[in-house]
């Protein structure tokens, strides 16, 4: 009897992010070259497992995709097999289709499912593992908020785009003596605002983890004006909120994704700043520009490292883990640990202290 062929399935779930294709390429190439494996790409995240929508991934399918943005497999941020949205007349109802998914995976003959995603996708991976599916997780998100890893791929690209945004807003803001506000993504975590703010030398950085005091923000802007700097650069996280206030959401959702689609705090802030200082203010919301396009070399390298590391876990049949980064080392972390929550910016984080040392205000 011939040797059994190794069959592996891979999906990308949640919001897309630069570096996903680098990961798909690394997992696929490693397992084809080292194990002659058969790789099945699941289309559109967990949706593809419910609907049995797949494509085979051969070596040539993953060649030339390292620098490509998005994901060649497609993704979904609402497809949760344990709470799958199904249309019932005019309403959306949620059904547990996890057994269907497990049955479909068995039909595929996959000995492991690689789940590349953020906290939502990895939580589902953890539940599938609990229910008997051999899984390996790979952390993806521009927000950098996954528990168990110091960094996720996609963050560097998104942060660099935001830093470039700050550079560009500064020159126009300086010319017009305006207060420029850049609203960045990140959900309930402020990593993107913090790193981009420091990289761009922002004067004020507002994070979800440190509710701001509007009086302090106005005072900083006025003080700069008093020093002859008739311009200020403010970076605000989409999830930031004033002391005693709440986040600003564009939409309340009931489709299985995040219940609030954040966005708009930059405009609220602009109104408050111009009312309290009398200065002209403009807001730019970067939004999905941060997620699109080619990954930075750092994210290509990180995606490759994490993908090869995940392939290594599969080769050892070490399931139920997410690969991650600890300092400069790659590690594997139990998915049960990853599922514990989000990694937020600690208010006493070293970079916050360093930013304060160079005069950046956090609005408190």
Site residues (vs ligand F6P, CB under 6 A): 15, 77, 118, 141-143, 185-187, 238, 257, 261-262, 291
Tell me if 31 sits within 8 A of 63, measured CB to CB: no
CA distance 218 to 361: 11
Nearer of residues 141 and 232 to ligand F6P, judged by Cβ: 141
With H, G, I as helix, E, B as strand and everything else as coil, classify residue 73. Answer: coil
Lookup: tokens for 143: 């927000």
Residue nearest to ligand F6P (CB): 185
- As a residue count, the chain comes to 364
Catalytic residue among 119, 143, 145, 156: 143
Residue 97: CB partners within 8 Å, gap ≥ 6?
Answer: 50, 81, 82, 84
Min dist CB 58 to ligand F6P, Å, is 30
Residue 89: CB partners within 8 Å, gap ≥ 6?
Answer: none
Nearer of residues 186 and 303 to ligand F6P, judged by Cβ: 186
Min dist CB 197 to ligand F6P, Å, is 16
Tell me if 331 sits within 8 A of 343, measured CB to CB: no
| Angle of the 155-176 helix axis to the 297-315 helix axis, nearest 10 | 160
Nearer of residues 224 and 291 to ligand F6P, judged by Cβ: 291
Nearer of residues 118 and 307 to ligand F6P, judged by Cβ: 118
CA distance 57 to 23: 13
Nearer of residues 142 and 180 to ligand F6P, judged by Cβ: 142
Strands 321-326 and 135-139: parallel
Calculate the alpha carbon distances from 304 to 19, 99, 309 in Å: 9, 32, 8
CA distance 196 to 235: 8
The verdict on whether 47 is a catalytic residue reads no
Active site members:
143
């Amino acid at each position: 009897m011939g040797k059994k062929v190794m069959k592996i399935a891979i999906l990308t779930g949640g919001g897309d992010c630069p570096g996903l294709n680098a990961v798909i390429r690394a997992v696929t190439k490693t397992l084809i070259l080292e194990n002659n494996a058969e790789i099945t790409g699941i289309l559109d995240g967990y949706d593809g497992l419910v609907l049995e929508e797949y494509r085979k991934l051969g070596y040539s399918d993953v060649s030339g995709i390292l620098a490509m943005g998005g994901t060649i497999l497609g993704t979904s941020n609402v497809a949760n097999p344990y709470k799958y949205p199904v249309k019932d007349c005019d309403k959306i109802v949620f059904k547990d289709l996890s057994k269907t998914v497990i049955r479909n995976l068995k039909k595929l003959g996959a000995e492991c499912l690689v789940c590349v995603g953020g906290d939502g996708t990895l939580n589902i991976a953890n539940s599938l593992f609990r229910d008997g599916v051999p899984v390996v997780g790979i952390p993806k998100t521009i927000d950098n908020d996954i528990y168990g890893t110091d960094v996720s791929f996609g963050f560097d690209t998104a942060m660099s785009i935001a830093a470039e945004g700050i550079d560009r807003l500064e020159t126009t803001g300086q010319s017009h003596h305006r207060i420029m506000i850049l609203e960045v993504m990140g959900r309930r975590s402020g990593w993107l605002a913090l790193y981009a703010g420091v990289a761009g030398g922002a004067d004020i950085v507002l994070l979800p983890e440190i509710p701001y005091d509007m009086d302090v923000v106005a005072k900083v802007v006025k003080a700069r004006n008093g020093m002859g700097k008739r311009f200020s650069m403010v970076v605000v996280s989409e999830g930031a909120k004033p002391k005693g206030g709440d986040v600003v959401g564009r939409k309340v959702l009931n489709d299985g994704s995040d219940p609030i689609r954040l966005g708009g705090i930059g405009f609220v802030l602009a109104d408050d700043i111009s009312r309290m200082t009398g200065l002209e203010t403009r807001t730019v919301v970067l939004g999905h520009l941060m997620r699109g396009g080619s990954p930075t070399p750092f994210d290509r390298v990180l995606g490759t490292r994490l993908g090869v590391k995940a392939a290594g876990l599969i080769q050892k049949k070490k399931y139920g883990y997410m690969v991650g980064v600890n300092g400069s080392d790659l590690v594997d972390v139990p998915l049960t640990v990853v599922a514990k929550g989000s990694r937020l910016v600690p208010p006493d984080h070293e970079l916050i202290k360093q930013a304060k040392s160079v005069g950046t205000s956090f609005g408190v």
